[in-house]
Each structure stands twice: as structure tokens, then as C-alpha cells.
Chains A and B, each alone.
Chain A
Amino acid sequence: MVMRPLVSLALLALLVLAGTSASAQDRYIMVASTTSTQNSGLFDYLLPKFEDKTGIAVRVIAVGTGQAIRLARNGDADVLFVHHKPSEEAFVADGFGIARHDVMYNDFILVGPQSDPAGVTAHDGVDEALRAIAAAEIPFASRGDDSGTHKREQSLWAAADIDPKAHGDWYRETGAGMGATLNTAVGMGAYTMTDRGTWLAFGNKADYTIVAQGDARLFNQYGIIAVSPEKFPHVKADMAKRFVDWIISVPGQSLIARYKRDGEQLFFPNSGGGS
């Protein structure tokens, strides 16, 4: 009588094991990347084509840039694909990666409510835009999570000579990913900085528009690195190399260029490679 439920649970356990082993084919690589890249939909477009061609499944773990780098440094990923060049170069310099390659770029933008209470759209450069927001003390939502986006945002405030945290509680750090921060910003009528890819794919825009773009300092470069097998012998070096090579050469690059959302191209390939 006690046995019956235990037996059914045991059967379920076997199901799980069967399920996991069926999908546990060895031909896969782990790629540590960022939520912004994931949320843009690029991976859903790109990766099946690589899988069809090579039979290698690409498993993406999409987290914040900081967490992605941490994962790769622990040896929990075969490839690192993020968008913060200084951190990437340090990764390679410290021996964790073989080499860094440019892949593509897009840009960051400032978004805000249609009514534009701080009058940001009247200004040209991103410096003036940020100063306008600080002066008017309109809420600004920051990711505050040490991600690539967040680090860029911090350097922009610094360049504009503003310490937003000292200024007051209009500056709000969510400590969250891009999507969650956008949700929060829209919810509280705050300005925020986001990458264009996430913004175009974002489904909860309400009445928000782009209020600042095009400044050279909003340029957002993506880089890819294969994790070093010298550092981590278990890493799937051959398959990782195939993926990296594919991304930075003609097949990958042309697909990146062709990926559009609502008719707009999100990422601009610039590996300089292509054989």
C-alpha cells in the first residue's frame, strides 16, 4: 500500500534519467553569453543554421556579462560571447581564453516616455542628454548589475561629469537584467539606457520612444573567445573552434547582417574575417 506511490515515483525518476540521457548527446558546446543578445532573438535565428551544418548543438546560457565571464573563468563554458572589450581582453590576458575576435556591433540608445519631461530630444550629444535628466531630476533606471551595459552607462555619466548616485533618488538601480530594468523603467516613467537589439525585440514598450542615439560613445562592440583548453582540459576545444570560426567568417557574418526585427537590422558584423 505504501509501495504503490513509491513505485510510481521511481518510474518517474527513471523517466527523468531516460529523458536526460536522450538529450545528453556529446555533440554540444556551452556558450556563455548575455541576456541582451538572447532577448534580441539573434541566437534563435543563428544557431539552428550552425547546428544543421555541423551537427553541433549550441547551448546558450544567457546571464549578465559579469556572470557570463565568471562562468567562463570557472570553466563552465566552452565559449564566451559578451560585449565588454576591457573584460574580454583581461580574460584572454589572464590565460582563460585563446584569443579575442570582434564579431559585430550595435549601439546603445536612451529611451524614455513620449512626453520627454527632461527635454532630452532637444539635445544632440549623450552628455547633454544625461545632464538634462540630472538637472530636471527625472527618474533614471540603471541596471546597476555590473553588466557590460551598466559599465558603459557608468562611463557615460563620468564623461558628463555627473555622479548620479550623489544627486538624489531620481537615480534608481534595479540590479537586474535589461528586460527587467526596461519593465521597471516603463512602470515608473523613468529614462533608461538600453542596447538597440533588446529594445527592438522588447514587447512592453507602452508609449516609450528613443530619445537619444547615434553618439559615438554609444557604440557597443561584441567579442567572442574560445575558452582555453590549456587552462581547462575538459573544454570541447575543437567544436568551440568550429563555432568561433563560423561566427567570424562569411557564413556567420552574413547571417548576422541578415537578421532583422520589424524590418530593422539589429547587429552589424565587423569581424574583418571571412575566408
Chain B
Amino acid sequence: MNPFEQALSEAWGLLVHGDAALFDIVTLSLQVSLTAVAIAALIGLPLAALLAIHRFPGRGAVIVAMNALLGLPPVVVGLIVYLMLSRAGPLGEWGLLFTPTAMVIAQSILVTPIVTAIAHRTLEDFHAEYAEELACFRMSRWEVGLTLLREARLSLATALAAGFGRAVAEVGAVMIVGGNIDGITRVMTTAIALETSKGDLALALGLGLVLLAIALGVNALAFALRALAARHAGEERHAPTALIQKG
């Protein structure tokens, strides 16, 4: 068997036997990354709406900074969060280091720029479409923001899916702040790193396939939800095609 065949059979074996350790690892990966995406959404979506609607002083700087943060290497984020949460650091008393909470914090920092950037571009488009019409209704900026967020909810799902993809696939941040402790802070990516370092490449690849399957599953779900709701809401834009239209 070549390494890939071996990997497939390892992956299959893991899933079929309902390996308890694997279940814990997968569950923790999902908990940490989904929570991080939720936090990123709470921060990033309102911020994106603000950037789309309001030309405030310093807005340009915020956009540049946000786009720059897109390229944050996870390991750097992990290092910074470690320095903050270490006992020797400013937030050491909280005792959060090497816990899933620390991992959520690190991943939230990693994911927020991506959610914000994609949501911002989406909401800019929606704002261009809706701005004049909403102005006819004499709406406050706050009301406009909420309306745009609601109108764009399906497209915003893409931003969240992208954020989740980044979170669940990264290893640098969660390795440093989590410590890859067996049964406590071991997630899919750190487990793969560990098995690789032990030379158990087939097992590592097998775990990788499980991770891919999960990522695929989540994205497929997001896509299906989008398509379903699009059909409900009649997503096709009303393009003025014919000159004479039916009454």
C-alpha cells in the first residue's frame, strides 16, 4: 500500500471504530473554531456595516489595517496571546493559558479580520444598491446598518464560512496557546502535527482527511442553506431588461 492508500484505510478505521479520542478531538476543534467565528461575527459584522455606511475620519486607516491583518501568521498571533496570558504576562492571573478558552481567544483574533474584510466588501455592494432607496425612508445610520445586515445575510454566510475555514485549519496559534495537551487542548491540526512528528504519516494523513471532510461538510451546509434561502427570497436581482413589461 502506498502512503495515500494507507492514509485512507487509517482514516476509515478511525471513523468506523468510533474512536473515542478522535471524537473528543473533533468535538473540541468544532467548539473552539465555531466559537471563534461567533465572536468574530459579533465584532466584525457591525464593524463592516459601519465601514460600508459611514465615512468617518480614520476610516481609511481602519480598512488598511484590517486588510493587513488578513495576512497575520497564526503562529505570531499564538505567540502574542501566549505572552499576554502567560503567568509572566499582564493577564497571567486569569490562568487561561493552555485551556480551550485561550485557543478561542487566539482564533478569534485570527478570524475577525477575514470576516470583517469579506463582510465589508459585501456590504459595500449592498449599500450601493440600497442607499438611495433607504434614504427615501429617512432612516438613521443605525437602522440602515441593521437593514443591510439583514438583507445581506446570505452573502454574509460566505464570510463566516471563510472565517471558519481559516480557524479550523490553523495549527500555529492553537499549538502555542493550547499546548496540545492530550484530552484537554488537542485539536485536529495539533494532533496531525504530533503524529507527523512521530513519523506516523499514514495516521496523520488519515486525520487530515477527517479534517477535510469536516471542512467540506461545513461549507456544503453553508452553500445549501444559501441556495435554499435564496430560492425562498427570490434572490435574482430585478434587472430592467425588456422595455415593455407585464403589468
Contacts and interface: CB of A to CB of B under 8 A. Distances in A.
Is chain B in direct contact with chain A in the complex (CB below 8 A)? yes
Contact of A204 (B31, B89, B194, B199): B199
Contact of B198 (A59, A63, A202): A202
Interface in B75-92: 86-89, 92
Contacts of A38: 194
Interface in B178-198: 179-184, 194, 196-198
Given A13-B38, A19-B28, A19-B100, A60 B181 contact: yes
A182 to B, nearest CB: 6
A203 B199 contact: yes
Indicate the size class of the contact surface on chain A: 35 or more
What's the dominant secondary structure at chain A's contact region?
helix
B197 A234 contact: no
Given A2-B150, A16-B104, A35 B197 contact: yes
Contacts of A39: 197-198
A16 B154 CA distance: 26
B37 interface: yes
Contact of A1 (B34, B153, B194): B153
B99 interface: yes
Contacts of A13: 35, 38-39
A30 B98 contact: yes
Contacts of B95: 234
A211 B175 CA distance: 34
Contacts of B32: 16
Interface stretch (A84-92, A97-105, A172-180): A172-180
A188 interface: no
A179 B196 CA distance: 7
Given A179-B197, A180-B196, A232 B87 contact: yes
A127 interface: no
A114 interface: no
B87 A74 contact: yes
B184 A59 contact: yes
A75 B88 contact: yes
Given A12-B35, A13-B35, A76-B97, A205 B199 contact: yes
Contacts of B31: 12, 15-16, 19
Q: Which of B88, B149, B203 has the most CB of A within 10 A?
A: B88
Nearest to B195: A203
A180 B195 CA distance: 10
A200 to B, nearest CB: 11
B211 interface: no
B38 A202 contact: no
Contacts of A202: 198-199
Contacts of B27: 19
A139 to B, nearest CB: 19
Interface in B156-185: 157, 179-184
Given A9-B38, A16-B32, A61 B198 contact: no
Given A12-B38, A232-B87, A203 B197 contact: no
Contacts of B199: 179, 182-183, 202-205
Contacts of B182: 44, 59-60
A62 interface: yes
A177 B98 contact: no
Contacts of A177: 197
B149 A2 contact: yes
Contact of B34 (A2, A12, A182, A205): A12
A205 B41 CA distance: 46
A74 B31 CA distance: 29
B219 interface: no
A20 interface: yes
Interface in A176-226: 177-180, 182-183, 201-205
Q: Which 10 A-B pairs have the closest CB atoms?
A: A179-B197, A204-B199, A75-B87, A9-B38, A203-B199, A74-B88, A61-B179, A202-B199, A203-B200, A16-B31
Interface of A: 1-2, 5-6, 9-10, 12-13, 15-16, 19-20, 23-24, 30, 35, 38-39, 44, 59-63, 71, 73-76, 177-180, 182-183, 201-205, 232, 234
